[in-house]
Structures are given as C-alpha cells and as structure tokens.
Chain A
Amino acid sequence: MGKKKITPYAVISMILLVLVALVFIFPFYRIMTGAFNDPTNVWKAELFPSKLTMQNFVRLFKQPAWKWLYNSVFIALVSMILVCGTASLAGYALAKKRFFGQKIVFTLFICAMALPKQVVLVPLVRIMSTFGIYDNVWAVILPTVGWPFGVFLMKQFSETIPTEMLEAARIDGAGELRTFWSVVFPVVKPGVGALAIFTFINTWNDYFLQLVMLTSTENLTIALGIARLQSADVIEYGPLIAGAALAAIPIVTIFICFQKYFTQGITMGAVKG
C-alpha cells in the first residue's frame, strides 16, 4: 500500500472499472429516477425526472404494498432468528460433542446443503397444505429454517472453541445450557452475525419459494407483489417502477449503513464456512 506508482496499466484499469461500475449503478439510478417521475414519462430517456411527483407511489399503494413490505420483513427476520438459533445449537453439538450417529447426521446435512428448493417443490407444497399453512408466511419461513447451510456454517465456527474452555466450565459445574451460553456463544458470535446477514438477504431474495407458497394478494411479499404487477393484465409501468424502488430502498439503505458488517459476514461465511 505504501508507494503509489501510477502506471498506464493502473490508469486504464481504473477507467475501465469506473465504466463497469456505471453499468452496475445505472439500473438502480434508473429505478430511483423513474419512480419519482411523472407516469407519462416512464418511457422517456430522461436522466433527471422532468417532473417530480409521487403519483406512481399513490397508484402503487392502491395495492397493499405496505403489507407486502411487512410480509417480506417478517419472513426475513423470523427466518433469520430461527436459523441462527437452531444452527448455533446444532453446530456446537456437531463440532464439540462426540456422539452416536454424528457422522450420519453431518453427512446428511452436507448432502442437502446446496439442494435447490425446486427439487422438492411439489412435495413441499403438499406438506404445507397438510399443515394448513399454504398461502401463509410460515410456509416460506419453515423450509428456509430447514435448509442446513446455517448448521454447517456454525459447525465450522464452533470448531474454533477451545476445548479447554469447555472443560473448565464443566469443572466449575456449569450445566450444558450455561456452558453454551457463557462459553460457546461468545466465541461463535461473529459467526452468528455472519449467518444472520446471510440468511436475511437470502430469504429476502428467495423469490422462488415465495412464488410457490403465497397466493392471496395480501399475503404476498414485496418481490412477489412487483412480479405480479409486471405480469398483471393491466400493466402500469409507473407504479411498477415505484414498486421496484420500494422493494430496493429498505435493504439497500441497510446495506449502505452496515456495509462493513455485510462484508465481514460474507467473508466469514465463506472462509470459515
């Protein structure tokens, strides 16, 4: 990092980088300007909206868009909490306990880890109906929690818990729960953070599962709601773009504010995991 020599290569690559970055920003910029532009200008190639209005949003909110947003947040948050909870408990057990059937359980988790949900599409819909929660946010949450990636990640993290610390707690007479709570958890905490971010984003973006599980208009997520606007019988592009903006703004804001944690989360998730 010390000396900065400006080579032609560096200059060219910087210019290229900026150009490519523009390609990445442009769609986002287009959503934001389009959303606040007049609905009749939606097809115009204006870099700045010639007329700033909230009309698109007014029309959008004829649909239960707040409810969609709420559903998205609910699904992502609850899944995140449940995944972190179940995975840190299970990960600890897999990493630090020696027990009968350990190998089988772990192998099962591994095999299922990258399984796309489409693979079990029809049976999953069946199961949700049997439980009476088809077309309900829980039909999205429960399979998400069942997916074992989190367990695997937390297992990798729990490997780093010093066994001596566990021994010491045991000798002090701490019960299993207290050991987990006061010894294990502090060590794996960064892992839980990584997993939380990872799960939140993935669940928020898990269009497929939402698509097959949710049907009623008021039970949709924001992603699904927009998808429906796009393929509605009467298409209105203004409100559609406003919807896209509404879906993007919350999570992008969170991302910009907590970029550091996101990056940490991603790196840790990959590297330790």
Chain B
Amino acid sequence: MKLKKTLAFLLSAMMTASLTACGGGQAASSSAAPASSAAPAESSAASVAEPAGAEVEITWWAFPTFGQENADDPVGTYEQKIIDAFQDANPGIKVKLDTIDFTNGPEKIVSAIEGGNAPDVLFDAPGRIIEYGNNGKLVPLDDLFTADFIADVNNDALIEACKGKGTPYMYPISSSPFYMAINKQMWEDAGAMEFVNLEGDRTWSTADWEKAIEKLAAAGMNPGTVFCNGQGGDQGTRAFITNLYGATIANPEMTEYTANSEAGVQALTKMKEWIDKGWLGDGVSNTAANDIELFATGFSSFAFCWGTSTALAQAPNMEAASVTPISLPFPSDDGVPELEYLVNGFCVFDNGDAARADAAKKLIQFICDDPEWGPKDVVRTGAFPVRQSFAEKDLYAGNEEYAVLENFTKYYAPYYNTMDGFANMRTEWWNMLQNVISNGTDPKEALDAYVAASNAGMNAA
C-alpha cells in the first residue's frame, strides 16, 4: 500500500515537472541543469574560473607512492597532512586530494583528461607524465627547473627523464631502483643461499640464478611468477629477461626498440624452459600485484617486481606471514646488472586557468622543496632524493638496507620510459609474454612481432 502511494506521488510529481518544464523548451541542457545542482555538492568541481581574490581550489591525484606513517593509516593520510601544512602556509589555496591506484588509475586519468576534468596536480612517474606532456595536456615547468635546481640534482639522465621533447613536464622528488626480492627463510631451507651474494652490491650471475631456482624447485618451494596479465610492473619482468644475457630494450639513441636481439631470444627461450620445468611460475593470469601478494604472504620464494615503496606497502603482509625479504639486483651473465628505476615526480595539468596552475606549482614546490616537508616527503616515498643537498642530510642514516640499495643506483640503465609509443610497447610486452608462455609461440617469432609492433606504435604516436 505504501509503495503504491509513494509511486503515485512520484508519478504525479514527474507529471507536473514535465508539464511545467515544457514552457522552457530548451532540450538537452535544461534537463541536466536541475539534475546537476541537485547532485551531492562536494564533487561538482567543474571548470568555473575563480574570480580574483577568492580562494583557488585545486585537485591533487596521488598514486599510493607515499607510504603511510603508520601501517593502520588509510591511504591518503600522509598526503592530507602535507595539504594541511601547505594550506596553513598558503591561505588562499585549497587542495582537494584524491587517491588512485596503479591498476585503475591510468585509465581514470585518461577519462578525466578526455572529459576536461583532469586534476591540477598528479603525483606519478615519467612514463605517463611525459606522454601527457607531449600530447599538450600539461603546463611546462621551465620556471621550476632553475639553474640552482639543476645544479643540485647534478644528474643529466634524471633531468632528461623529466622532459618531453626538451620541455620539462615533471618536477622530480626522488628516485629508486627496481630490483627483485627473495624469501630468506625459503632460500635457506632449500639450500639455495649459497648462490646468493650478500657482499658489496650483491650482484650475481645468471648461472648462479639457474642453480638456485633448480634447488628451490627440488625443495618444493613455490617459484615467483613471470606475471603478464595486466597494467603495471612490466619493468620487473623486462629487467629480469634483458639482464639474463645482456639484451637491451632500446637502442642508445632511444629511437628504436631492440629486444629481439640474440641475447633477448636466448633469455626468453631460457625463461620458457624454466617455466616448463616448474622452476619459474606461469604468471599469465597474474598481475604484478598478484605476484607480489604471493611473495609477501609467504607463498612464493621470489618476486621480480620489488622496490622500496613495494617493500613499505607490503610490510604488514610480510609481518603477518613472517616473511623476510632480501633485496637483490637481477642476475646477469656478466655480473653487472642494468637496473630500471623509478623517478617520482609531479606534473601540472593545463586546465586553462593560470591561477590554478600557479597554485599547483606552489603545491609541488612545497612538497618537494620545503625545508621541513621536502626531506620528510622524500623519506615517505621510500626512495632516494634527487636533490644532492637532501642526500647529504643522510635521510636514511643507520638503515643498512638503504645503504645497499643506494649502491644499486650506479647500475641505472638508460631510461627508455619517455620514448614515443611507450604505452603501446608495454601492452605489446604483455602480449609477447602471454604468447610465449601460454601459446607456446617461438621466442624469436614472438620477440620479432613485439619489436615490430612497438616500433610501429612509436611511429604512429
């Protein structure tokens, strides 16, 4: 009975609404106007230009790059603290925070850009940022790249990684290598520790690696997987495969993809062989996050996609499962690894409003350079500061793990993440791995196809 009454009321309301609305007659726009004003107020952050003198409101989208201070803090807690401090220092600016994740985040950003609702500030890495920049979606940051700043960073490769076609788009805060991790207990139990070098930079050879995984498999330890189901973490599998026999992803000029070299084919063939033997895990249905979860919960004995921020984020999982990770560089035939690395940094989207762009720049400078917050923020990223002046402060004093990791930075490989068609190359990479692992495609054939498609994508972009 009640239902009937409610329905009746609603219908009559609809009816009157429709009959009064017809006076206006304006089609599409009039129907939506009342709807949007009735919407929950908090999220109609549309594109109205701020009148002079009023508060500027900007949005900051953050991937979970900052580790939280306490394991129990929900995502975004630390970021909000920065915002509070920033707003105190800059009363005219309001910052709205949105947290996104690596799996869905990239697609969300693109749809926001497409819809003209891009955030003002994004905390990410060059791979995507430079692509947005080259596509004209970002505000150039020349004014932030002062001579002082460049001198303080004192690393040309890193500065270049922040530029797209010569224009700086990303203001870097920290960088850290990607490496792999092994489960100490499992390796000890399997007697595989003898192949691991814990001295110096912990570099080791492909031959040792092969013996180690054989032992692990014999002892019934679950292998880590060559994950290739989706989005992120591809650098882990790429670094593993290219290091095995010294293949390269791109030529030194960064104009061509080159993984289908003899060394590449050899590595991929080996990988397939190991998977067939059960020494390596089939990761066709795993994403990097799945594989990391397997490792952090103590199921698998190694993981290819490890890094300082991963270690931080997975700390609760590892503690619960009493997993002790050991960080290692990737094994290579000559014992000199080439590591991929991450540069954390900020970009400013061009939302057609100079006031917002200026406010956004202020925010990123505050985050990166503020004498109090800058170093603290670097530590929260769990990475090494790009500014030498911060590095001298020895932010991770007393942390032996970080002393080792800092040594890894000298093995940084050429940075190809800002090449044209990078996004397309990543998709092709996954496809290539899936083809080899699940389809049994010949490694040479698969690599050739991958390189051809990646190069084609570069020219199309």
Known A-B contacts A89-B15, A228-B104; A233 and B289 likewise in contact (beta carbons under 8 Å): yes
Cβ-defined contact, B108 with A215, below 8 A: yes
**Stretch binding the partner chain, chosen from B141-149, B246-254, B312-320, B394-402:** B312-320
* B117: Cβ under 8 A from any A Cβ: yes
Known A-B contacts A189-B4, A233-B64; A132 and B47 likewise in contact (beta carbons under 8 Å): yes
Cβ-defined contact, B103 with A233, below 8 A: yes
| Bound-state Cα–Cα, A185 to B232, Å | 54
Give B8-19 as 1s and 0s: 1 = Cβ < 8 Å from A's Cβ atoms.
101111111011
**Stretch binding the partner chain, chosen from B35-43, B175-183, B214-222, B329-337:** B35-43
CB-defined contacts of A89 to chain B, threshold 8 Å: 11, 14-15, 18
Q: How far is the CB of B110 from chain A (nearest CB, A)?
A: 10
* A136: Cβ under 8 A from any B Cβ: yes
**Of A63, A135, A215, most B-chain CB atoms within 10 Å:** A215
Main secondary structure, interface of B, reads: helix
| Bound-state Cα–Cα, A216 to B114, Å | 16
Cβ-neighbour of A132 out of B4, B18, B44, B290 (below 8 A): B44
Could you say which interface size class chain B belongs to? 35 or more
- Look across to chain A and name the residue whose beta carbon is closest to the beta carbon of B16: A177
| Bound-state Cα–Cα, A244 to B166, Å | 48
Q: How far is the CB of B244 from chain A (nearest CB, A)?
A: 27
Task: State which residues 159-212 of A face B: CB under 8 Å.
Answer: 177, 180-181, 185, 189, 192, 196, 212
Number of A residues, CB within 8 Å of B: 48
| Bound-state Cα–Cα, A219 to B43, Å | 8
* B98: Cβ under 8 A from any A Cβ: yes
Cβ-defined contact, A233 with B98, below 8 A: no
Give A230-257 as 1s and 0s: 1 = Cβ < 8 Å from B's Cβ atoms.
0111111100000000000000000000
A-B contact count (CB 8 A): 127
Cβ-defined contact, A231 with B103, below 8 A: yes
Cβ-defined contact, B32 with A131, below 8 A: yes
Give B84-127 as 1s and 0s: 1 = Cβ < 8 Å from A's Cβ atoms.
00000000000000111111100010011011110000000000
| Bound-state Cα–Cα, A189 to B290, Å | 50
Task: State which residues 94-144 of A face B: CB under 8 Å.
Answer: 122, 125-126, 128-138, 141-142
**Stretch binding the partner chain, chosen from A1-9, A17-25, A80-88, A265-273:** A80-88
* A217: Cβ under 8 A from any B Cβ: yes
CB-defined contacts of B14 to chain A, threshold 8 Å: 82, 85-86, 89
Cβ-defined contact, B98 with A215, below 8 A: yes
CB-defined contacts of B101 to chain A, threshold 8 Å: 228, 231-233
8 cross-chain pairs, A with B, having the tightest CB-CB distances, nearest first? A129-B115, A85-B14, A132-B46, A231-B103, A215-B108, A134-B115, A131-B32, A235-B293
What residues of chain B have their CB less than 8 Å away from a CB belonging to chain A? Answer: 4, 7-8, 10-16, 18-19, 29, 32, 35-36, 38-40, 42-44, 46-47, 64, 72, 74, 98-104, 108, 111-112, 114-117, 230, 232, 287, 289-290, 292-293, 313-314, 317, 320
13 A–B contact pairs at CB < 8 A? A82-B14, A84-B10, A133-B39, A136-B39, A136-B44, A138-B39, A185-B8, A196-B7, A216-B98, A218-B43, A233-B64, A234-B292, A234-B317
